[in-house]
Amino acid sequence: MTEPLIGVTTYLDRARWGVWDLPAALLPAAYPRYVREGGGLVAMLPPDEPGAAAAVLARLDGLVVAGGADVEPVRYGAEPDPRTGPPARERDAWELALIDAALASGAPLLGVCRGMQLLNVALGGTLTQHVDGHVEAVGVMGRHPVKPVPGTLYASLVPDLAEVPTYHHQAVDRLGAGLVASAYAEDGTVEAVELAAPAWALGVQWHPEMGEDPRVVRGLVRAAAAARG
């Protein structure tokens, strides 16, 4: 049987390479390496028309919503905090449509940092627009321990206290409909959220693709293989 095909969302930004300086679909190389380490094949998903999301998901076995820019606060009914970054409206619309399509189809879904926050917003939750102490320095990953909640999907994948690579300044505030918190930081920040079985929808606040622990992505790939049948 061929490896499950996992779509990974990408950034839309300006980039320079060779003689070119153009808009580009960007994805840190750690993401495809992470999915391959978990046993999956990778399809990069640049922002597209939201109406195409269901057709795209129909070709995939699973979805990773990657980290990146802050979710626009209007998406959860808030005014922007001065410390909230500029909106990425095209990406917000595309990834929300992909999340909706994944949830509707039952495709396994992993949200990473922004991806976890967007999953929460997609289900009617809200975000805290700034938390102190979770970014050590601009462009530098920090590390801190994350404690799983027993009995959750996340705890079945990572049952122990784990040191994770982290870079974020926003966090889940009110949980979206059906979501439960499945891991916490020492300061009480929600570090993972998930839907109850039979759904396989998990969001993590940290960046597992920047670490050495493939247990979460292996869980995603196994679920994608099982869902494909």
Which residues are tagged catalytic? 113, 207, 209
Q: What angle do CA 183, 126, 58 make, to 5 degrees?
A: 80
Whole-number Å distance between alpha carbons of 157 and 87: 33
Are 202 and 154 in contact by the 8 Å Cβ rule? The answer is yes
Strand, coil or helix: what is 166?
strand
Tokens of 14: 């300006």
Q: Are 45 and 26 within 8 A, CB to CB?
A: no
Please name the residue that has the structure tokens 């060779």: 18
Task: Classify strands 20-26 and 62-65 as parallel, antiparallel or unpaired.
Answer: unpaired
Nearest alpha-carbon partner for 171 in 96, 117, 115, 122: 117
